[in-house]
Chain A
């Protein structure tokens, strides 16, 4: 009984699936490739103010990091090592050997989020917008949590030469220590000046900064 029932049922399924395949056969769907998408994206954007179309031309790092995020796969080990090495090579240490500027200026830079948008101009002094992602000075309660808390930075990490150069490198090009980090390359991408980066360094590492109180 059971067998006789099963047989025509499977047959029916097979026939059905054949019919389905042939019905949509005229429009077999293939997902768009990266290149196809990129072409449509580029035709859908326009220059506005300082934000020009060439910003859509991705670097090798941007392509790799986009792919990793899209597929959810890990960055291959060798590629990660290469990207981090390349990023580290971009880091320019201060020529005068002075790493810390003014922490009060640093606080201002951390609070400001403008720069490089089409609503800005090439005269706009960019900020770091650090509070968007990080807890920093304890008196500022409006902070984000995309990045780790930086409260008590010096107290927790010390100010050994290793910490100082790591912090500088992280601000300059975050991918040097963690390829595909979400943090902008403040030095490498010319978002902040060397002087501004020194001020941010002071915010984190000056013993008198509110961060370390």
Chain B
């Protein structure tokens, strides 16, 4: 009696652990993937991407700055930082014009977080890099060219 009861308790314990560690996080993972904007990541241009993100078009803004090298020695890793001074910035997106799909990364910026994110992207070739900002549900854009050079000896 006592023993089987103890077994039962143990089992529920295991289930509880599984639920908290495995099952729930898988569910969360699934939910997050659902949220991933497939259309935006498949878009082939700045305009298409902005449309997929819900905007009509993006207007040029001097309040967005892109920190990226003028020349990237290797396109596999290109450091890019975007700062937006536009009030109520909600999202920051990094696009590479000549990549097979333009959108590389998008960030949601809640209140209290600086509209300044830094990451590293891949570039297949020399291209314009666009930083798109969504603020008060309007879209803005700034652009900078990054040259990608060839590697060295032997290949």
Contacts and interface: CB of A to CB of B under 8 A. Distances in A.
A and B touch in the complex (CB under 8 A): yes
B112 interface: no
B155 A113 contact: yes
A142 B150 contact: yes
A125 to B, nearest CB: 12
B154 A129 contact: yes
B152 interface: yes
Contacts, number: 16
B155 A114 contact: yes
A132 B153 CA distance: 6
A117 interface: yes
A117 B150 contact: no
Nearest to A129: B153
A86 interface: no
B37 interface: no
A178 interface: no
A114 B149 contact: no
A132 B149 CA distance: 13
A149 interface: no
A113 B150 CA distance: 11
B154 to A, nearest CB: 5
A117 B155 CA distance: 10
B154 A114 contact: yes
Interface in A3-61: none
A119 B154 CA distance: 9
Interface string B142-155: 00000001101111
A112 B155 contact: yes
A204 to B, nearest CB: 21
Contacts of A119: 154
Contacts of A114: 154-155
A114 B153 CA distance: 8
Nearest to A140: B150
B152 A132 contact: yes
Contacts of B150: 142
Contacts of B152: 113, 132
A142 B149 contact: yes
Contacts of B155: 112-114
Contacts of B149: 141-142
Nearest to B149: A142
Nearest to A119: B154
Contacts of B154: 113-114, 117, 119, 129
Identify the interface centre among A112, A117, A119, A142: most chain B CB within 10 Å of its CB: A142
A109 B150 CA distance: 15
Interface string A163-193: 0000000000000000000000000000000
B152 to A, nearest CB: 7
A112 B155 CA distance: 8
16 contacts: A112-B155, A113-B152, A113-B153, A113-B154, A113-B155, A114-B154, A114-B155, A117-B154, A119-B154, A129-B153, A129-B154, A132-B152, A132-B153, A141-B149, A142-B149, A142-B150
The 9 A-B pairs with the shortest beta carbon distances in the complex, nearest first, are: A113-B155, A113-B154, A132-B153, A114-B155, A142-B149, A142-B150, A113-B153, A117-B154, A129-B153
Interface of B: 149-150, 152-155
Interface of A: 112-114, 117, 119, 129, 132, 141-142
Given A113-B154, A113-B155, A119-B154, 7 more contacts: A112-B155, A113-B153, A114-B155, A117-B154, A129-B153, A132-B152, A142-B150
